Structure 1
């Protein structure tokens, strides 16, 4: 990379895809050659964890803050929140977001009605350009895949018939990178894939004949209720493999423009895979998705990064990483100093990306405050490499008990567990507004 050029940053986040889905992590149910190749040429992380649902993760990712500081509700980000879009734009970067927004309004009408349409609009999120699904409205947000409803720089597209949402986002990103190749740029690609509805992709034999549900054909249900729609989990394989292909198109564009060595690309998942989808690891171990659950199946996600010439090839990192760490990391890579009053709970893992020793975490903190009135329960807990302590005092050895079936109570602690509890329990008192 030229010494006088700040690096480009491309941050890609898949939707509803856990650690077990990627081939290089041991997954054998899906072909993911692009991500496997990124890991071989760059770095992959064994212990990256995020929140169990998308909104909590996205807010942490975009602000570097734990959710107790700034969580309003599902599908809502505070309208005055300063995001990495603002920070990178203010630092002179060209900035773009393409993909899923869904942070202005989402809570169903009978839940928190006072919070409807109170979140941040895409226009106020700090990006120079945007091309997104679900920018403002809720009930009529429409398809994100075939025949999608896409909002681009202030207007809805009227030419998306027979087009596929993820391709539209990727095309926009590639055009943005080409137009701004001579300037440092920041691209945030919160992918629509692989979230429900589970549908054919353009590579599926059924795609041409597939008609996505419309607001008129949902049998009285709204698009909000598609989480309960009886769609087909078999399409999850097609969606995982198509999402890998789309990421390859973005990476290939960087190479075509001759700026791959000037660009840090980070890929991460936003939570675990859908609970109705079971995948196989190492050809024999079945792992069912844990989206919405606080066990590791709900939080353990793939984290892969490439930066040719800067990240050593084939580096595997075991340090703990959580979703608050991404903002300080990309700011560190770009040489951006946050405003003096900007609070970040995360810490940079740029040294670890480079194969060096960094400021390694001893623990990760989770404040999980999901959508109201739904099955997911509020939880606060702290996780180390081996143990997980909840604020109700339940302690689990997650290496021996990953499904958290047998909690240790303080009265039954041995010396090791007592020391862990003494180290972690006081942290809860620090995690308050």
Structure 2
């Protein structure tokens, strides 16, 4: 019997009676910007069902993810900063590594507490057998092992100002590799893409290659509704990481041409339709007041795609960066009768906080044999307290090497940092007051040198602790 199985059994023994356990539904958009909801102020995208969730629960305006897909999902599933679990990079079709088998995922935690667990959608934490969802706590999985652009048919990136004819021609030949808008991943002579076909899977079985992506949101929603119906009499955890609005964008005929925001708006409005179907099903089955539903996104918008990307609103930059636009995302929690309706919090919290929050409500203790960076949000959600459980929040970029720390936030202050190319100590590069300057335009580093030194020292100390306790990557 493995250590992980023993831990799961112990967690199950500590769990509450089934009647006391809420259900959990985690809805995870892909590349949706902070601004791309009606409730966030977008004038052209209609999201009445997600807006309803926010009005009936709590909306966090400083909810953080990682800068791109895989690391964000690692944080969500493990309750840790991505580099702590060696998952600070994206996995592609040919990857031979993935989430380590000894990691205790959110799904394993809840399965050990008697929950039925189902995942529907994109995984992106390893595509080989030991790393797939149903080996990591999910009873069943239906979806894609990685991003929907990791196939031979990726759309071309739009031209950039100043590109010569050769570079523009290369863009027409090249398939984009999915590394967050970094032009160096184009091969100007050959093009560079994914020769593999995109598999739609059910557990270990490939159901079809290159599925009709116009039907993915609808198919995912139908499977989700069936799961809820089938598990109405037992506690359940449903994780639904949508394929959209990650490019390439696809939408069903039912929703095509409906949004004045164009194709991107159509895609987001279809996600909202899906959320509405799920909320209505809970109401129909009498599960509404015993189900915590969370809606968020894995990172900011993919701005390099112009009109086919989303918007971070007032925030600077987007996906692939550690500016606010890259990591600040929608964060909405709805639990009627338990979370006071209509609450808005500007406190900084993160997707890694979902695991300890679900654990607390399910009546299980998170594992004590490893470090978790996430914190229980229930005191904040329930109104017991107003302050974030994080004294500091750290922004990590991607990479396979040492922890790529890029910034730290404490209250309203955000300090950007960098490490010299030859190593050595961290250096402060900019300081912003996010309350007064959410767009990160006005550097105040010279005005507050003592504050910057203190935050820099705290960051260096945290990174040393993290690097001393990095857990291994599966397959290495």
User: What TM-score, normalized to structure 1?
Assistant: 0.79
Structure-1 residue corresponding to 2:422: none
Structure-1 residue corresponding to 2:118: 96
Structure-1 residue corresponding to 2:406: 380
Structure-2 residue corresponding to 1:195: 246
Structure-1 residue corresponding to 2:162: none
Q: Report whether the alignment pairs 1:132 with 2:143.
A: yes
Aligned to 2:201, which of 123, 126, 151?
151
**Structure 2: gaps of 5 or more residues:** 1-16, 92-96, 155-196, 418-425, 469-476
Would you say the 8 A contact 1:130–1:152 is kept in 2? Answer: yes
- Cα distance change of structure 1 residues 244 and 393 upon mapping to structure 2, 3 Å threshold: same
CA distance in 2 between partners of 1:317 and 1:294 (Å): 21
- Cα distance change of structure 1 residues 53 and 371 upon mapping to structure 2, 3 Å threshold: farther
CA distance in 2 between partners of 1:236 and 1:381 (Å): 30
Structure-2 residue corresponding to 1:78: 99
User: What TM-score, normalized to structure 2?
Assistant: 0.72
Aligned residue for 1:104, secondary structure, equals: coil
Question: How far 1:394 moved relative to its partner?
Answer: 1.8
Question: How far 1:122 moved relative to its partner?
Answer: 2.8
Question: How far 1:162 moved relative to its partner?
Answer: 8.5
- Cα distance change of structure 1 residues 168 and 383 upon mapping to structure 2, 3 Å threshold: same
Structure-1 residue corresponding to 2:274: 246
Q: Report whether the alignment pairs 1:303 with 2:303.
A: no
CA distance in 2 between partners of 1:294 and 1:407 (Å): 16
Structure-2 residue corresponding to 1:43: 58
- Cα distance change of structure 1 residues 419 and 365 upon mapping to structure 2, 3 Å threshold: closer
Would you say the 8 A contact 1:56–1:368 is kept in 2? Answer: no
**Larger deviation, residues 117-126 vs 169-178:** 117-126
Aligned to 1:354, which of 378, 382, 406?
382
For the aligned residue pairs, the C-alpha RMSD in angstroms reads 3.3
CA distance in 2 between partners of 1:362 and 1:407 (Å): 22
Would you say the 8 A contact 1:328–1:348 is kept in 2? Answer: yes
Deviations 1:56-113 (A, max 9, x none): 11001100111222124312632413211211112211100001112224xxxxxxxx
Question: How far 1:19 moved relative to its partner?
Answer: 1.4
Deviations 1:208-228 (A, max 9, x none): xxxxxxxxxxxxxxxxxxxxx
Aligned residue for 1:328, secondary structure, equals: helix
- Cα distance change of structure 1 residues 141 and 63 upon mapping to structure 2, 3 Å threshold: farther
Q: Report whether the alignment pairs 1:260 with 2:288.
A: yes
Question: How far 1:251 moved relative to its partner?
Answer: 1.2
- Cα distance change of structure 1 residues 429 and 79 upon mapping to structure 2, 3 Å threshold: closer
Would you say the 8 A contact 1:394–1:408 is kept in 2? Answer: no
Would you say the 8 A contact 1:164–1:202 is kept in 2? Answer: no
Structure-2 residue corresponding to 1:168: 219
Aligned residue for 1:431, secondary structure, equals: helix
Aligned to 2:236, which of 185, 192, 202?
185
Aligned residue for 1:268, secondary structure, equals: strand
Aligned residue for 1:303, secondary structure, equals: strand
Deviations 1:250-274 (A, max 9, x none): 1111111111111010111110012
Structure-2 residue corresponding to 1:428: 463
State how many pairs are aligned: 385
Would you say the 8 A contact 2:301–2:318 is kept in 1? Answer: yes
